[in-house]
Chains A and B, each alone.
Chain A
Amino acid sequence: MKWARLFGIGFLIVVTFACVFANFVAPSYAHQFRDEPDAAPSRQHLLGTDDLGRDRFARVLYGTRVSLLLAPAAALVSSLLAVLIGGTAGFLGGWVERSVMAATDLFLSLPWLFLLITVRALLPLNVSPITSVAITFALLGCLGWAAAARVICADARSLAHSDFILLARASGSSGLRLLWRQVVPNLRPIVFAQFWISIPVFILTEANLGVLGLGVAEPLPSWGSLLRELQSYSAITGQPWQFVPLILFVVVVSCFHLVLLEQESPA
């Protein structure tokens, strides 16, 4: 499965580059070509235009940029929270671990999307596009730590009982120093795996929120808002190029899974 992993990494690098340099290869995502609404693909508009005359190729690139750059940022926040909560609980053990893990279990028992839209509804819905992006991904980062914290806690617990920690304790390392210098660096592989697992989950959740109108606000594109365009798709006046964002979405999320495939393999 090495080739699949390499393909995943390669494709993600290419897409990320294309998105980061979107300004150079496509017009602005908000510019309206008023004479050409719902245009078919052409040399000028590679994927045609939407019903407001905006270049769909540009919107796909900018939308992918929003999701591809901010989902890892949200995953980073959730991973750091997971290390802080799960790592500390696992290292300290005893009643701290039991209490924190009980709270984590309770948090995990709340259905993810229900919890997310409840907290999202607490905040104003009619906000600027930039604020909506910040709110959406900050919520994902702040609420998505629980599953990772559980795994990290278990790892930190086994590390806390390992021989090298005993040796470090015997050498006079204090609790905090021990945690920071010995435990946290050894948690790195599991934290990285949890970080990577979170990215496609957050991308999928943002897409769900976007399609439901609770994600990133217009005119800023994101995968959620791009996929929402399928709502107006009519099989009779079929415009198959409207499915390009969906295909790109599936391939990108698959690539994130492919990168992890080798580690997940049961063999």
Chain B
Amino acid sequence: MIATRHPLLSRLVRHAGRIALTVVLGGLLGATLVRLAPGFGVDEAELDSRLSSQSIAALRASQSGSDSVASFYWNYLSRLAHGDLGISRSLQQPVAELLRERTPGTAKSVALGLLLGWLLGLSLAVAVVMSRSWGVDLLASLLGGTLLCLPAAVLALLFLIARMPGRLVLALIVFPNIFRYTRNLLVRSAASPHVLTARAKGLGNFTVFFWHILRPAAPQLLALAGVSVSIAFTASIPVEALCDLPGLGQLAWKAALSRDLYLLVTLTMIVAVVTLGANSIADLLGHALSDHSSEVPA
């Protein structure tokens, strides 16, 4: 009843439920992985020949934690409910503190990367559609295609060699994905019969583009915006690791190299929730836009 009356509210609840489910299931999966991973409860310090058998036993007791996956997960969840994300084994610091330190750096890089990537991708896609010139299309497609074939890690290395700011790499990773999909979307939209009719009726280029080409494609572009957040976060690992930018990506890389699974699983969960949240917002906005468009008389 409520769902039919308030479709937006129903969608909101569905998305919130999905995020909650991701946290619960992802947390369970992560806790299972951490608990069953080879080497769980073992510390490299045990290899220190100076330690006595009692010290090694004490070290093992401090590392082992709960025995079963269920009790391990329960402890993990109850700690999480109290805002305690545990302590990183490799960095010997509370995970919450590490996140507080590193999140602003990644947020800045990702925001800048998304902003520049979208600006470049959208501008070039619009230029291709508006100019209808094969030369512009070829040049833009070549640029996008080449960047699409370069791994983020290599772009980061090239930026290091050229002594350019590493944060810009994220923009070059986001750009080709945005350009490719936006271009295809706008070209398809521009070829629709209603656009031809609008042009035949003498509407100006600007009006035709905004009202008849861009607007119908807006929900899909919003969906792409959600996906681009995930792309930027994924690229942040190699970029921050290689360009020495202190952020969540660099933290994840260090955690992986030192097999700090607890930290790694927590980081993955947090980034997953952020990207899922971004996708949900994009989806809700897209639906709101489609509903609004359908209400506007033709």
Question: Using a CB–CB distance below 8 Å, which chain A residues touch chain B?
Answer: 102, 105-106, 109-115, 117-125, 200, 204-205, 207-208, 211-214, 227, 230-231, 233, 235, 246, 249-250, 253-254, 257, 264, 266-267
Q: Are A235 and B161 in contact (CB under 8 A)?
A: yes
* Contacts known (A109-B276, A118-B256, A121-B259); A246 close to B154, Cβ less than 8 A: yes
Query: Which residues of the partner chain A approach B259 to less than 8 Å between Cβ atoms?
Result: 121-122, 125
A104 to chain B, nearest CB (A): 12
Instruction: Say if the beta carbon of B242 comes within 8 Å of chain A.
Output: yes
Q: Contact at B149–A213, with CB atoms within 8 Å?
A: no
- Of all chain A residues, the one with the shortest Cβ separation from B230 is A111
Number of B interface residues in the complex (CB < 8 A): 53
Question: Of A105, A114, A124, which contacts B252 at CB under 8 A?
Answer: A114
Write the chain B residue with the least CB distance to A256. Answer: B149
Q: How far is the CA of A227 from the CA of B39 in the complex (A)?
A: 31
Q: Do B22 and A109 touch (CB < 8 A)?
A: yes
User: A118: which B residues are within 8 A, CB to CB?
Assistant: 30, 33, 256, 261, 264-265, 268
Please report whether the interface of chain B is mostly helix, strand, loop or mixed according to DSSP. helix
Q: Is the beta-carbon distance between A111 and B234 smaller than 8 angstroms?
A: yes
A-B contact pairs, 30 of them (CB 8 A): A102-B18, A102-B21, A106-B21, A106-B22, A106-B26, A109-B230, A109-B279, A110-B26, A110-B268, A111-B230, A111-B234, A111-B268, A111-B272, A114-B233, A114-B252, A114-B268, A118-B33, A121-B259, A124-B38, A125-B257, A204-B151, A208-B237, A211-B151, A211-B153, A211-B154, A212-B242, A230-B161, A233-B161, A257-B149, A266-B184
Q: How far is A264 from B187 in the complex, measured between Cα atoms in Å?
A: 13
Q: What are the residues of chain A within 8 A of B37 when measuring CB–CB?
A: 122
Q: In the bound complex, how far is the Cα of B22 from the Cα of A110, in angstroms?
A: 9
The verdict on B77 contacting chain A, using a C-beta distance below 8 Å, is: no
For chain B residues 55-93, which have a beta carbon within 8 Å of chain A? Answer: none
Q: How far, in Å, is A196 (CB) from chain B's closest CB?
A: 15
User: Are A212 and B237 in contact, CB atoms less than 8 angstroms apart?
Assistant: yes
CB pair A207–B149 under 8 Å, yes or no, is: no
CB pair B153 A207 closer than 8 Å? yes
**Bound state CA distance, A102 and B21, in angstroms?**
10
Of chain B, the residue at the smallest CB distance from A229 is B157
Q: Which residues of A contact B30 (CB under 8 A)?
A: 118
Interface centre among A105, A117, A123 (most CB of B within 10 A): A117
Known pairs A106-B21, A254-B149; A211 contacts B264 (CB<8 A) = no
Q: Decide if A211 touches B237 in the complex (CB within 8 Å).
A: no
CB atoms of A267 and B187 under 8 A apart: yes
Contact A114 B161 (CB under 8 A): no
Whole-angstrom distance between the alpha carbons of A253 and B151 in the complex? Answer: 10
B241 near A212 with CB under 8 A, answer yes
Instruction: Indicate if the CB atoms of A208 and B238 lie closer than 8 Å.
Output: yes
